[in-house]
Structure 1
Amino acid sequence: MIATDFQPFSIVEDTGFKKYSQALNPSYIPPSRKALAQKVTDMYDRETASLKRRVSNERHTADNIAQQLLSVAAEWGVDKKVVCCLTDNAANVTKAIQTIGWMHLPCLAHTINLVVRDALQASKPIIDKVKEAVEYFHRSTVGAQKLKETQLQMKMEELRPKQDCPTRWNSTYYMLKSFIASKNAIISTLAVTNAPVRHLSQEEWTTVQEMCTILQPFEEVTVELSAESYLTASKVIVLARGLQRATADFRRKTTTAVAQGVIDSLCASMSSRFHMIHANHILAEAAALDPRFKRMAFPDGRTADETFQRLSTAAARISSGKPIQQQPAVEGLEGAGSGAGSIVWSYFHEEVAGTVEARNPTADAVMEVRAYLEEPLLPTHEDPLKWWESRAPVYPRLSKLMAKKLCVVATSVPSERIFSKTIISRQS
């Protein structure tokens, strides 16, 4: 239960668990939390040692990673079904996937993390001051209590500033946001307790406020892309363009030199990393087949035309799945309508039989794409998969193509949560 359901060790001391165990077997005495923790720790240490021995004999080269990926894919029977492989930006992993020949997509959340982390270097002296104060409130019982009392006196929310995590930029954002939310209480508490930390100047407080504003869109995009219950890859081009425009707009509104430096770094990094992102075939085709975006996802008509031309070509190679309608054999003229069973009409049917049955897949695909584009855009809050479910009979080829394109995700964050939960469970 501890490992399978990520339950804390303290569950064995819960009243409900004890009653449940008693009802199952009155003679069973559950282990104490300490004993259970020790047992799991011993198991962890044994498995870790075993895994380290295995890993130490394997170099993390691109070739070795490629072999392992192919081995796992073959074991699960999906080696011929890989549509796209999403990873972080590690060079050896990227090269391994290129060696295999799979389509590769870098995780956008990791890319954003690199973009923002680099930009935050421009504000490091101020962030270090904030960290000192935050660590003080987490380290000092007196400081934490005094901050709480001050917040109550000022009728503010009881909020202890959040600490920064070096591996995730958004933890820095949360730290700055919680810090600015308790600004007056923090200033007062630091002064009263004579805390051994460097105080922020008024301009630095302004910089922190402006940085929260600048970083908010990046946090919103990261959260949206990290969800698990809706499409993400089809949004990448739209969201990347939105981030660039929002950051450029903030340049006119910021007043401090440090915040301007952060913006300059963000714009330069995004210009480099998002350059021609709309030309990425995986992302472009996913966006084109999302009924919320279609041509509007692209910054220019040429890229949109090229994308839909590729989709038309791909759709032409897909069978529509529609059965050919055969005329029923009807004896005599009465009730036949088109004379399907008459001798006179039989000559005409012989002449057109080839043209009726031999459909032109290219023309059909072009017609499907044209009709799809003529439909109004789906509101952004609507579910595109439900839209496609209702339109599958209308666009048989495109709906099959859609299933291959919209299954791609934009970030590996959801899969990484599994490992995070395991770590949290062990620390509980």
Structure 2
Amino acid sequence: MWTSVNMEAYLALTCHYINENLQLCTSVLGVQYFPQSHTAGNLAQVKRGMMEDWAITNKVKCLVTDAAPNMIASTRQLQIRHSITETLNSLNLLVRKSCDQIPTLTSIRHKARHIVTYFRSSTTAKEELAQVQQQMGRTTLKLINEVPTRWNSTYEMLSRLHDEREPVWVSLTSLKTDLTPLTADEYNIIGEALLVLAPFHQATVELSEERRVSGSKVILMMKMLYLALECNASDLRTQAAIHLHEHLKRRVTDTASNLESLSVLTLATLLGPRFKSFGFRSSSKCNEAVSRLRSECASIIDYRRTNEPQPGPSAQQLSAPTSDNLWQHLDSEVARQAKSATADAIQEVQRYLAEGNIARSQDPLQYWDNQKATFPHLFRLALQFLCTPASSVPCERVFSTAGELVSKKRNRLNFKILEQLIFLNKNL
């Protein structure tokens, strides 16, 4: 959902799929004016209408949204698999809530924000800082201010301030200001907090930049964050950093457990040849995911055998003497067992999981292009689930364009024209 400068609400729907050339694609299905209230029923009705317009109602494997209650309820009404894989938003909330529970760190953040605001709003202070940086032989760098809605901006603010603490301290002492510089102890706390938060910043950047099958990395990313927290625990000395570490570890554990229960994400993780079962922290959750994959694979096999034409009896079978009818019941039973979809699915999944993982730098879709004859049914599942995005960022980018179109100079733009302009801009 997005609201323009004219206070007009719009709903955008993007579609993510893998095309016939095994390339991950994103298309904008529509940006629709939404004057009605944002109830689950209204949201579901508009989404259903867009899917019917494009004739994809029966092709949608899951719907990716944030954790807003009305979005969750609307997906439930549509009876579509729901994947709350707004990982970036989850990381933002996870880190933000953990930081807010540390009073010492909150006080340092407020103090740092005042210092940064001063250097960014005062021309004299800005020039003084640049001059001091040049005198110290440093690169001239501006301080970064945090944005309340993005936790990584807090990380970048503290990181830049920590790196430039000497020029900032010298500049503040020479300027006529009532601002109190951060103390050495406070910089120590910042340094250890940055050590704890660095993996989360890396995860945020990596998921934002991922242009391949990002959904397959979500569960593994939470596992890597947990392991990174474990490694950094012994290097912490300040109480603020230790408490931050404890809060983050608890929240990462809870989030990872929830994500490992989402069918869409677990299937995407297993079907990602870079990670497979290594992406899971919980062995029981991994076993459940493997069972789920076998069931999905069996469904594909059963569907193909039911709906695709089967080869008829051979000439030898047609010319067989009638005396062979003595064995026809046994032969039919053996043939039925040989065609068991479940048994074939178990075998195909076991062969796939037994293969070595490809390198993390390799393209998973290229792997499936090469292995589609070896694992034909898993290949079909890979096409269905690996296109699941890790976040709703592609959809949110639609509104970045919309914000440029509906400006103060074009505030009388008709909503129908706006819908067409965005559609053309994103799809052509």
TM-score normalized by the length of structure 2: 0.78
Equivalent residue for 2:368, pick from 368, 388, 404: 388
Which of the two has higher C-alpha Rg? 1
Once residues 154 and 368 of structure 1 are traced to their aligned partners in structure 2, the CA distance between those partners, rounded to angstroms, is: 64
SS at match of 2:219: helix
Once residues 273 and 342 of structure 1 are traced to their aligned partners in structure 2, the CA distance between those partners, rounded to angstroms, is: 61
CA-atom RMSD in angstroms: 3.2
Once residues 269 and 395 of structure 2 are traced to their aligned partners in structure 1, the CA distance between those partners, rounded to angstroms, is: 23
Aligned to 1:118: 97
Equivalent residue for 2:350, pick from 367, 370, 373: 370
Alpha-carbon shift at residue 368 of structure 1 (Å): 0.9
Aligned to 1:215: 197
Q: How many residues align?
A: 372
Aligned to 1:243: 225
SS at match of 1:274: helix
Once residues 101 and 311 of structure 1 are traced to their aligned partners in structure 2, the CA distance between those partners, rounded to angstroms, is: 20
2:261 is the alignment partner of 1:261:
no
Deviation readout 1:66-92 (Å, 9 max, x if unpaired): 222222222232222221111112122
Aligned to 1:80: 58
2:127 is the alignment partner of 1:145:
yes
Once residues 270 and 182 of structure 1 are traced to their aligned partners in structure 2, the CA distance between those partners, rounded to angstroms, is: 31
* Range moving further from structure 2, 84-93 or 134-143: 84-93
2:166 is the alignment partner of 1:184:
yes
Deviation readout 1:190-240 (Å, 9 max, x if unpaired): 111133322111011111122222211111111222235211111111111
Letter aligned with residue 292 of structure 1: R
Letter aligned with residue 98 of structure 2: A
Aligned to 2:359: 379
Partners of 2:223 and 2:280 within 8 A in 1 = no
Aligned to 1:100: 78
Identity of aligned residues (%): 28
2:110 is the alignment partner of 1:131:
no
2:299 is the alignment partner of 1:317:
yes
Equivalent residue for 2:69, pick from 88, 91, 94: 91
* Range moving further from structure 2, 276-285 or 54-63: 54-63
Once residues 319 and 271 of structure 2 are traced to their aligned partners in structure 1, the CA distance between those partners, rounded to angstroms, is: 48
Once residues 427 and 380 of structure 1 are traced to their aligned partners in structure 2, the CA distance between those partners, rounded to angstroms, is: 46
Letter aligned with residue 380 of structure 2: K
Once residues 317 and 254 of structure 2 are traced to their aligned partners in structure 1, the CA distance between those partners, rounded to angstroms, is: 69
Letter aligned with residue 397 of structure 1: H
Equivalent residue for 1:413, pick from 379, 383, 393: 393
Letter aligned with residue 262 of structure 2: N
Structure with greater strand percent: 2
Aligned to 1:274: 256
Letter aligned with residue 102 of structure 1: I
Letter aligned with residue 408 of structure 1: T
Equivalent residue for 1:296, pick from 278, 283, 288: 278
Once residues 205 and 98 of structure 1 are traced to their aligned partners in structure 2, the CA distance between those partners, rounded to angstroms, is: 48
Letter aligned with residue 65 of structure 2: T
Letter aligned with residue 383 of structure 1: D
Partners of 2:215 and 2:386 within 8 A in 1 = yes
Equivalent residue for 1:174, pick from 150, 156, 160: 156
SS at match of 1:284: helix
Once residues 175 and 420 of structure 1 are traced to their aligned partners in structure 2, the CA distance between those partners, rounded to angstroms, is: 24
2:46 is the alignment partner of 1:68:
yes
Letter aligned with residue 130 of structure 1: A
Q: 1:73 to 1:375 in 2, by over 3 A?
A: same
Q: 1:197 to 1:284 in 2, by over 3 A?
A: same
Alpha-carbon shift at residue 420 of structure 1 (Å): 2.8
Q: 1:296 to 1:348 in 2, by over 3 A?
A: farther
Aligned to 2:288: 306
Unaligned runs of 5+ in 2: 11-31, 410-428
Aligned to 2:269: 287
Unaligned runs of 5+ in 1: 1-43, 330-339
Partners of 2:274 and 2:358 within 8 A in 1 = yes
Deviation readout 1:289-330 (Å, 9 max, x if unpaired): 11122222223443333222222222122246898778987x
Deviation readout 1:60-117 (Å, 9 max, x if unpaired): 2222222222222222322222211111121222222122222112211111110111
Partners of 1:85 and 1:102 within 8 A in 2 = yes
2:139 is the alignment partner of 1:157:
yes
Aligned to 2:27: none
Letter aligned with residue 122 of structure 2: S
Alpha-carbon shift at residue 188 of structure 1 (Å): 0.6
Q: 1:183 to 1:402 in 2, by over 3 A?
A: same
Partners of 2:273 and 2:357 within 8 A in 1 = yes
Partners of 1:228 and 1:414 within 8 A in 2 = no
TM-score normalized by the length of structure 1: 0.78
Partners of 2:92 and 2:150 within 8 A in 1 = yes
Partners of 1:312 and 1:362 within 8 A in 2 = yes
